Chains A and B, each alone.
Chain A
Amino acid sequence: MGRKKTFALDYHLMLAPGILLLVLFSVVPMFGIVIAFQQYSPGRGIFHSEWTGLDNIRYMFQLRDSGLIFRNTLFIAIMKIVGNLAVPIVFALLLNELRMRLFKRIVQTVVYLPHFLSWVILAGILTDILGYKGLVNQLLSVFDIEPILFFASNKWFPAILIGSEVWKEFGFNTIVFLAALAGISPALYEAAALDGAGRWQRLRHVTLPGMIPVIVLLATLGLGNVLNAGFDQVFNLYNPVVYESGDIIDTYVYRSGLMDAQYGLATAVGLLKSVVSFVLIICSYVLASRFANYRIF
């Protein structure tokens, strides 16, 4: 017993540096949330700024932009969640049907790559390809279509965000579905084949049912992301012309807080997002553990 006690001390010591850093850089900022209820001024600091109660929150709800930003965020995020599920599922099913081993391996290697590139890089590439004189407009001109200003069009901009996100992530998101497919017992396929099931019937009655649990699980976990429309991507692609369709909560917080120095308002908007996201994540974990037996730790 005495020995175990010494170990406990060792364990506390091992955890100490990490916990200290989490306290300094995650917990201390949480106390900064009080700025949302202040007329914060950098000169006076957090302890001497004037308290204004719920003024910032009230102001936030009165802003004409808030509804727009909230709608943009929800729309872009939800479409991304749907696309990031649907495309990888189809892609995994197709890969699964492919019989050529080497070809399969090459395809997999290539499609994972964009996941590891930053949005800075990809935005640099996208703005060139989709630019006024870019590749896409050159292609369109072959069909006598007038060049489109993709990054100045509120019609096209959300589609570009969703499309490029799915393009970047579909390969990587396929991995988890391929794992699920690998987990389906070969005996089921053999039984189905014995019963005379063709390729399409095996897909419908064996493969798809085998994937349902993973699909449900990932859709549930996606719930925690409905307010994450992807700051890095939007920030690197948007401009004032497309604020109307592309401005999201995170970019708004950045501009109002760090550019316009409206600390109180920006903190309030950020706080609302943090709280709602936190509640949604907890809900999704509860649902996931109840229905899919999933636990993250």
Chain B
Amino acid sequence: MMKSHSLSDKLADGLIALVLGGAALLSLYPIWYTVAVSLSSSAAAAGGLVKLWPVQFTLQAYRTIMDDPAFFRAFGVSLQRVGLGALINFVLTVLMAYPLSKSAAQFSGRNVYMWFVVFTMLFSGGLIPWYLTIKEYELLNTIWALVLPGAVPVFNVILTVNFFRSLPRELEEAGYMDGAGPWYVLWNIFVPLSAPVLATVTLFSIVGHWNSFFDGLILISNPEKYPLQTYVQQMVVRFSTESMTPDQLKNLGELSNRTLNAAKIFVTMLPVLLIYPFLQRFFIHGIMLGSVKE
């Protein structure tokens, strides 16, 4: 019976730890490597000397970014869209989730609304009509083009609806007994009690807004109004993937400034890395909470 702690078992344990540790390193290394390149001298990076640690350590790349007003402007646009966008997402998620969490008996329109909301999530007119519509509203080149089209995060709404439904009915009824209305019950009872789920979906929408580049690319034509990801896409990524001939691709390493690109990439992901510990704490818990079904 004690065979389960045999030598072969210990060997298996070691092997498993090795594979898992390897996978963790594989997940982290490309990011670490980028940091190392960004802190190396241009010559060392161009010569392919950087492997694990910065070679000829220098902050030159970051100093160059500091002097680049376009980068800062784009960073500012991104902060603005995250602030505005996540706020709108939060308010609409809460406002929509509450009535949708009612049963059809409590709120007769509930099912119609729910089907409508889910339908908008599952079917779309496609890219071209979407673009032309926003153009027609004259939102192009404004911050509103980046926050209004995705103002209702349907998936977040559904997660929150499921969580609201798992809260005890008695809480709400006690509120009504004391003469409170639905608005009061929502903001003062439901919202505080749902903090973990709401924190999760808000962090999701913050990361989503920070990371999106495509809307900035097609809805903003003035580079001075680009959000950061669009700016980086245009300045760093486009030049490395759009080259036409294999020869051009070959020479890319020499043409582009690897350290500067690496520094731009690192600064662009930095905000996500900074909120990651909070994300990590909430999302597993939050996703599970939101998927509680009756």
- Using CB atoms and an 8 Å cutoff, list the residues of chain A in contact with chain B: 4, 7-8, 10-12, 14-15, 17-19, 21-22, 24-33, 35, 46, 91, 94-95, 97-100, 103-104, 106-107, 109-114, 116-118, 120-129, 131-135, 138, 149, 151-152, 167, 170-171, 175, 179, 193, 196, 198-199, 231-232, 235-241, 250, 253-254, 257-258, 263, 266-267, 270-271, 273-274, 278, 281-282, 295-297
| Interface pair A103/B17, CB less than 8 Å apart | yes
Tally the A-B contacts, defined by beta carbons under 8 Å.
290
Distance of A288 Cα from B210 Cα, bound (Å): 33
Write the chain B residue with the least CB distance to A90.
B19
Q: Which residues of B contact A110 (CB under 8 A)?
A: 24, 27-28
Chain B interface, DSSP helix/strand/loop, else mixed: helix
Q: Which residues of B contact A106 (CB under 8 A)?
A: 24
- Given the known interface contacts A10-B183, A11-B109, the answer about A253 and B120 at a Cβ–Cβ threshold of 8 Å is no
Q: Which residues of A contact B16 (CB under 8 A)?
A: 94, 97-98
Q: Which residues of B contact A258 (CB under 8 A)?
A: 127-128, 131, 218
| Interface pair A35/B132, CB less than 8 Å apart | yes
Q: Which residues of A contact B246 (CB under 8 A)?
A: 149, 152, 241
- Given the known interface contacts A29-B130, A131-B240, A295-B293, the answer about A124 and B151 at a Cβ–Cβ threshold of 8 Å is no
State the 10 A-B residue pairs at the shortest beta-carbon distance, nearest first: A32-B129, A270-B126, A118-B211, A11-B99, A29-B125, A133-B253, A26-B120, A127-B240, A29-B129, A30-B125
Q: Of B137, B268, B272, which is within 8 A of A24 by CB?
A: B137
| Interface pair B152/A113, CB less than 8 Å apart | no
Q: How far is the CB of B163 from chain A (nearest CB, A)?
A: 12
| Interface pair B96/A274, CB less than 8 Å apart | no
Chain A interface, DSSP helix/strand/loop, else mixed: helix
| Interface pair B287/A121, CB less than 8 Å apart | no
| Interface pair B116/A22, CB less than 8 Å apart | yes
Q: Of B127, B133, B162, which is within 8 A of A25 by CB?
A: B133
Distance of A7 Cα from B110 Cα, bound (Å): 12
| Interface pair B213/A274, CB less than 8 Å apart | no
Q: Is B284 an interface residue (CB 8 A)?
A: yes
